């Protein structure tokens, strides 16, 4: 009786260990976040970015259409006139102030949709925790990607 139980138990353990050994040979599904990056889908909507053209100019022209499209009032734009000698963006107008309040944003992507120059895009960064409420308001230096143009901007 005792022996039979022993054999049965050993078999069960052997079965269970079999499952473990089977998965030991496969690649693990878990990821070492945050030490390793997590892949996201290409159309994932994360933290916003303001893009530049290849010549280094800002794409944003300060038209405020993103602000109008935003369902939660998370965007604030103030436009100004470009200095013809030292332009920020092509044309006469650029965004002097561009702010996004992440506490209000619902990451719907309507701003991307509304943008006539594809300046504002929702990127793939989703880790946006912060210690300070004020830090949830992103301003132009935090939004621009790349922050500094990689090339020298010349007026056309």
Partner 1 sequence: MTDLVTLKIDGHEVSVPKGTLVLDAAAKLGIEIPIFCSHPKLDPVACCRMCLVEMSGPRGASLQPACAVPVAEGMEVNTQNENVRSTQEMMLGFILVNHPLDCPICDKGGECPLQDQTMRFGPGISQLVEPKRHKNKEHLISDTIVLDQERCVVCWRCIRYLQEWEDKPQLALFERGGETLIDIQHGQPVDAKTGGNIIDICPVGALTNRVARFNFRPWQIERTPSIDPHYSTGDNIRIDTRTHQIRRIVGRENMQVNDQWIADKTRFAYEWVNSDQRLQHPLVRKDGELVPASWSYALQYVVDRLKEISRKNGADAIGGIGSTKLSNESNYLFQRLMRQFIGTNNVDHRNGGDVAALATGLPALADIMKPQYGPNPKVDTIFLVGFDPSEELPILDIHLKRAVLRGGAKLIIAHPRQIELTRYKGPHLAYKPGSEVTMLNVLTKLAMSAGEKNDAELSKLLTGATQQALKDVCDVAVDEAKRAAELLAQSENALIIYGPMAADGPNGPQVINALTNLAMITGHYERLAYIGLDANSQGCRDMGVLPTKLPGHAELDDAEARARLEQLWGCTLPTEPGKTYKQMLDAAGGAIKALYVMGADPASERPDWAANLDKLDLLIVQDLFLTETAQLADVVLPALSWAESNGTFTNCERRVQRAPKALTNPHTKAAADWMILDHLASRLGANWPYADEKGVLHEITEAVPIYRGLTWEALGDQGLQWDAAQVRPTAEYRQAVQPEATASAEYPFALVTGTVSYDGGNMFALTKQMHNIAYGPIVGISPADADRLSVADATPVTVSSPYGALQVQVKISEQVKPGTVWIPESLPQSPVGALLNGSSAEYVKIEA
User: Hey, is 48 helix, strand or coil?
Assistant: strand
Q: Rank residues 47 and 75 by Cβ distance to partner 1 and give the closer one.
A: 75
Whether residue 123 contacts residue 43, with contact meaning beta carbons closer than 8 Å, is answered with no
Q: What span, in angstroms and rounded, lies between the C-alpha atoms of 101 and 153?
A: 29
| Non-local CB neighbours of 83 within 8 Å, separated by 6+ positions | none
The span of 7-15, 38-46, 50-58, 60-68 binding partner 1 (CB under 8 A) equals 60-68
The span of 17-25, 37-45, 75-83, 145-153 binding partner 1 (CB under 8 A) equals 75-83
User: Hey, is 138 helix, strand or coil?
Assistant: strand
- The answer to the question of residue 68 lying near partner 1 (CB under 8 A) is yes
The least distance separating partner 1 from the CB of residue 114, rounded to whole angstroms, comes to 10
Q: Rank residues 45 and 59 by Cβ distance to partner 1 and give the closer one.
A: 59
Q: What span, in angstroms and rounded, lies between the C-alpha atoms of 62 and 78?
A: 7
Whether residue 114 contacts residue 66, with contact meaning beta carbons closer than 8 Å, is answered with yes
Binding letters toward partner 1, positions 78-107, x by CB under 8 A: xxxx---------xxx--------------
- The answer to the question of residue 71 lying near partner 1 (CB under 8 A) is no
Q: What span, in angstroms and rounded, lies between the C-alpha atoms of 62 and 138?
A: 16
Interface residue with partner 1 among 50, 61, 111, 122 (CB under 8 A) is 61
- The answer to the question of residue 65 lying near partner 1 (CB under 8 A) is yes
- List interacting residues with partner 1 (CB under 8 A): 61-65, 67-68, 76, 78-81, 91-93, 116-117
């Amino acid at each position: 009786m005792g022996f039979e139980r022993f054999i049965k138990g050993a078999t069960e353990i052997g079965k269970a260990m079999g499952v473990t050994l089977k998965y030991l040979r496969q690649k693990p599904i878990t990821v070492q976040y945050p030490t390793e990056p997590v892949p996201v889908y290409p159309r994932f909507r994360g933290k916003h970015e303001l893009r530049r053209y290849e010549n280094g100019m800002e794409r944003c022209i300060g038209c405020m259409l993103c602000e109008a499209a935003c369902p939660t009032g998370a965007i604030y734009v103030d436009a100004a006139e470009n200095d013809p000698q030292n332009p920020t963006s092509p044309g006469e107008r650029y965004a002097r102030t561009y702010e996004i309040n992440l506490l209000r944003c619902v990451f719907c992507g309507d701003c991307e949709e509304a943008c006539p120059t594809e300046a504002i895009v929702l990127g793939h960064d989703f880790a946006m925790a912060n210690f300070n409420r004020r830090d949830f308001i992103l301003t132009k230096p935090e939004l621009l990607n790349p922050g500094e143009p990689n090339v020298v901007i010349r007026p056309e």
